[in-house]
Amino acid sequence: MKSRSLSFVIAVVIAAGIATIAAQEGHPLEGTWYGDYSTGNQKTDLTVVMKWDGKSVSGLINPGPNSKPLTSAVLDIIPGKPAPQGQQSTTGVPPTFKVRFDVDGMTFEGTLRNPVGGNRQLVGTWKRAAQSGAFQIRRL
Amino acid sequence: MRGPFTLAACLTFAVATTSGAFAQDAGAGQGRAAGAGGQGRAAGAGGQGRAGGQGRGQGRGAAAPSAPTPRWPDGKPILGSVPGQPVGGWGAGVTTLPQGQLDKIPFQPWARAAYDIRQIDQFEPHTRCKASGVSRQFSTPYGTEFVEVPDLKRMYIMDNGGPNSYRIIYLDGRSFPQNIPLTNYGYSIGHWEGDTLVIETRGLNEKFWLDTRGTPHTSQLKFTERLTRTDMNTMRYQATIDDPGAYTAPWTTADFNLRWRPGDELFEYICQQYNEGPTLMLGSQEEIDNTRFFVP
């Protein structure tokens, strides 16, 4: 029991360390994302690695022997509105970041939450033929 | 709250320990007086608060009559303190690289959107004691100190406040190494063009902003700075941003002037430990997201 607690503590410390090191302020999609997608009540783990080369986003899911490359990945930006003159900056409407990527016959479409912050998330829906469901991934 | 700050405090301690050799015991009280790292956007005592404009000692107005540019025996300008005279430093400045010319900056769409969002959330890494390189170093609270070591052909640019760390500028004619590890300060090489020190920096990571306003960059950034001490009290600063990951073309800032502050020198400043206003670090008086184990 003690060793299990110790293992948990070590795992948490390592995870926090990795997450802290990984925090970045560059392109919103760059990095490793982890979460899941659902089919009915069943959830499946999903890891997505995305890279920005200055012109396009590339990447893969589930790195390892069963990884699959992204066949397309697009970031669309819907402009926001700056705060009116003389008002608190927080009264402005931020731009919205819409993301779509295709992989292994599946299409994922979602919206970035906190798109340029360290704790950004991508939340949306996926579909493949007649199947569909929700997904959410968080940038590590 | 305790978890993230405990972790951050450990990391800050590690940084403070490694840079401790450069600290001067010139006033622990100064650090405490600064509150939230001295650079809270809303409060910013002695810092470069957005509401308060640019930090003390920096500005573009007319300078008081000044002595000529000090020089080394070989004729090169001295960019830091003059041997035999009181130590001094450069006041904080360079708070915004676009300087009101946003529409002329060749942002990629995502970079402009990121910049716009940062005007709203103001969640800058530097305000959480993260070392922030190149131009952002020159808006560190309490300014910077240049320590030139001619015998070693290098110069150190010290942050007086904020992360309380330093950047090395190599002046020995070396070239950039292959596969530079990405770091907050990058790898800086300097050379002289007349009286101007030209510093080229590569190997910058994406963990900081280029200025307090949130000008974005990627790890593809090649950053060139031109520093000219035009007289004893004035350092002209200009930067060129070449980053195909965030901009469609290289662009160059207008000139900034840093002001000399005689008597300023490094003092012990432990950014996290002396933070007495964590909510001020977010600028808009917002609370930190406590749902995460770490503070990004």
> d(Cα B175, Cα B144) in Å, to the nearest integer?
26
Q: Which residue has the higher pLDDT, B23 or A111?
A: A111
A30 interfaces chain B, CB cutoff of 8 Å: yes
Partner-chain contact A15 B118, CB within 8 Å: no
Q: Give the global pTM.
A: 0.76
**For residue A129, what are the CA distances in angstroms to A71, A98, A108, B89?**
17, 22, 13, 65
Check residue A113 and give its pLDDT.
93
Question: In this complex, which of B11, B108, B206 lies closest to A24 when CB atoms are compared?
Answer: B206
* Per-domain residue ranges of chain B: 2-47+76-282
Ordered structural domains, chain A, with CATH? 25-139 (2.40.128)
Q: Which two tokens stand for residue A81?
A: 């509105």
Weakest mean pLDDT among A84-88, A105-109, B189-193: A84-88
Check residue B258 and give its pLDDT.
96
Partner-chain contact B206 A12, CB within 8 Å: no
**Phi, psi at B91, each rounded to 5°:** -65, 160
Q: For tokens 């990095």, what's the residue?
A: A31
Q: How many helices (H) and strands (E) does chain B have?
A: 3, 10
Tens of pLDDT, residue by residue, chain B (296 residues): 333 333 333 333 333 333 332 222 222 223 323 333 333 332 232 333 332 233 333 444 455 578 999 999 999 999 999 999 999 999 988 889 999 899 999 999 999 999 998 888 777 888 878 899 999 999 988 899 999 999 999 999 999 888 889 999 999 999 999 999 999 999 999 999 999 999 999 999 999 999 999 999 999 999 999 999 999 999 999 999 999 999 999 999 999 999 999 998 888 887 764 455 555 555 544 555 545 444 44
pLDDT confidence band for A116 (50 / 70 / 90): confident
Check residue B269 and give its pLDDT.
83
For residue A139, pLDDT over 70 is answered with: yes
Check residue A5 and give its pLDDT.
58
With vertex at residue A72, the alpha carbon angle to CA A120 and CA A62, rounded to the nearest 5 degrees, is 60
Dihedral sign, Cα of residue B267, residue B211, residue B116, residue A25: negative
A77 interfaces chain B, CB cutoff of 8 Å: yes
Check residue B66 and give its pLDDT.
85
For residue A53, pLDDT over 70 is answered with: yes
Closest-CA residue to B204 (of B241, B165, B159): B241
ipTM at complex level: 0.79
**For residue A112, what are the CA distances in angstroms to A53, A59, A121, B14, B86?**
20, 17, 6, 34, 53
**For residue B247, what are the CA distances in angstroms to B11, B19, B26, B112, B293?**
32, 34, 42, 9, 33
Helical (H) or strand (E) element with B18: helix B2-18
Check residue B98 and give its pLDDT.
93
With vertex at residue B101, the alpha carbon angle to CA B104 and CA B91, rounded to the nearest 5 degrees, is 135
The Cα of B150 is separated from the nearest Cα of chain A by a number of Å equal to 35
Partner-chain contact B293 A15, CB within 8 Å: yes
Q: Which residue has the higher pLDDT, A30 or B294?
A: A30
Listed in sequence order, the DSSP H helices in chain A are 2-22
> d(Cα B293, Cα A12) in Å, to the nearest integer?
9
Check residue A59 and give its pLDDT.
97
Partner-chain contact A89 B125, CB within 8 Å: no
Check residue A16 and give its pLDDT.
45
Weakest mean pLDDT among A29-38, A92-101, B54-63, B240-249: B54-63
